[in-house]
Structure 1
Amino acid sequence: MIVIFDLDGTLIDSAPDIHKTANEVLAGEGLGPLDLPTVRSFIGHGVPHLVGRLLGAHGIADEGRAARMVSRFGARYEGAVGLTRLYPGAAEALAALVAQGHRLGLCTNKPVAPARAVMRHLGILDHFTAIIGGDSAPQRKPDPEPLQMAVAACGGGPAVYVGDSEVDAACAAAAEVPLIVHTEGYRKTPVEAFRPVAVFSDFAALPGIVAAQAEVLACGHGVPAQ
């Protein structure tokens, strides 16, 4: 089976690095820093959205300034790995899924280059057959196209999506791919609203969840997230 993962908030806690980079870019514009919870709440829709929210927090709406900040953020983003950590047990779960014969893919709104950089830094890049980022398709999540691209790049066939956020839930529903939710990520609403096929807080549970879902899909009884 194909298992597609989100990245930020699902496999990695990258909020500290994103927070640091955001405040560096704000400082370059002569704007004051924002706290970690505020910046964390902006994560999930890609860099342009994040920058828009950074400016919005300062009461600024300026497309030219936003474009300049997106460029400056991007220049720093690929090297922003020092504070990012894998969630406990994530590396072991990925290795177990590969050992079970599953094909792994990534579908994130983070641009491909920084996604690859942080995955390489954390030692998980080689587990993945395909990586689809926020700059891989004309539309970002929650549009279904990036997730569909990731499934196709892994060879097509039965798939599940492992994510943590409202964006992931909407994307999975639009693509009609069953959703498994990591509950320790960046979501803002109750997990029940996502209508997942399964949830987990401990990555040790994930290989068993995926195995059970593979059996369900093999029998033709999979119920996509709605």
Structure 2
Amino acid sequence: MERATQRTAQRGTYDIGEQRPPCFLGSLSAEAREELLSIGFPRQYPPGAKILVEGTPGDCLMLLETGYVKITRKRANGHEALIAIRAGGDLVGEMAVIDGVPRSATVTAGEDIDAHVIQRRAVQKFLNKYPETVLHITRLSNRRLHNANSWRMVFGEFPVRVRLARVLAELAENHGEIIGSHTLICVDLTQAELAALIGSRERAVQGALAGLRDAGVVRIRNREMAVLKPDRLRAMGLLPPIGR
């Protein structure tokens, strides 16, 4: 449990337009956090595993300990669109458990995942014992909704190049590993997924990525992406410099 708590300081939930958000686990009191980690049972998932599936009953929630997951939702045409990324210390599947409704999105492991699976009855007992946790969950949901609404406004205000630079800068900051003079983005995203994140067509993302690469701002090797000039990337995304 101590090891899981330490991990929360390193990685947390990620929504477009949100920088360094507090993870759910880190927002709890030490007593509540310890009990939450003691109930349920541990599960491991390999990359690509469907952890929760859109439309299925909300019979459990999951507390992510390590790794990251992709949150996708089906479009009207049947294709899945990437809408968010969650990582160590965060909850997934909580609203379906609390509201008793089918799951609104699919959760897929982006890498090897360690998680705590907590059944609905155990969740209800925990919330009855620690009612303040309901407030933390409500705040989490409100923050996610606020970020989603804010990003919808960005869709109409900024061109693809700006939106892409902004997302890559935030991915590097929230899910990046500094290696020498550059930052490796530790989230494996396809160009189609990047396009879904910024509300654009894949071809437009390809062109914007090529421009960033030619400018020496990012380096792309297969599906591995590194940020070479973070301050330049943030400026292109109309974001303030790091540390401000």
TM above 0.5: no
**Structure with a larger share of its residues in strand:** 2
Which structure has the larger Rg over C-alpha atoms? 2
TM-score (norm 2): 0.32
TM-score (norm 1): 0.33
Asked which structure has the greater RCO (Cα within 8 Å, sep 6+), the reply is 1
